[in-house]
Amino acid sequence: MVALLASRHGENLKRSARERSLATTARFVDQRVVLAFPQTYMNESGISVGLLCRKYKVEDAAHVVIVHDELDLEVGRLQVKEGGGLAGHNGLRSVKAHLHSDAFIRVRLGVGRPPGRKQGADHVLTRPGKAEREALGVLISEAADAIETIIAEGVAPAMNRYNRR
């Protein structure tokens, strides 16, 4: 998804060893935006987010958008959320710990609950079936659109557009 956004804006992600990520900067409308994909374990993604925020002098967590999987949304559903609880998501917990705030914006990508007694971590690490892969492909493009909406128009218009579906 981050690579898709970078490509849409004529950029390529580059390894940033110090910030433990693949990252680039791009121009969206009239703003410079940092696009990054942490190269840590998901449970430690806040390390990369914190390092990137320090490097680019992002002091307000509300200027950070985190895209993450969401078990509480059915496969293919997207929601934009501003701040709030972490719903047991260890990656979000790590981001909150490193930003010292939970005020960041989330683009939640629905992956659905695991079947039977399967654990959430096992579910998100298992290769999805063909129908789910197709739905997730559409979802990735929609998530890129949602991020562009957040940057161009703000969080409220993005929530109104994407949370009603």
Q: What confidence score (pLDDT) does residue 164 get? A: 74
Instruction: Tell me the pLDDT tens digit for each residue of 2-41.
Output: 999 999 999 999 999 999 999 999 998 889 999 999 999 9
Assess whether pLDDT exceeds 70 at residue 161: yes
Under 8 Å between Cβ of 61 and 104: yes
Instruction: Tell me the pLDDT tens digit for each residue of 97-154.
Output: 999 999 999 999 988 766 666 555 554 556 666 777 687 888 999 999 999 999 999 9
Quick count: other Cβ atoms within 10 Å of Cβ 138?
Answer: 11
The model's pTM: 0.88
Partner residues linked to 82 by β-bridges: 105
Q: What confidence score (pLDDT) does residue 27 get? A: 93
CATH numbers and ranges of domains, the chain = 2-162 (3.40.50.1470)
Q: What confidence score (pLDDT) does residue 122 get? A: 52
Report, in angstroms and rounded to the nearest whole number, the Rg of the chain calculated over CA atoms.
15
**Helix and strand counts by DSSP (H, E) for the chain:** 6, 6
Q: What confidence score (pLDDT) does residue 118 get? A: 58
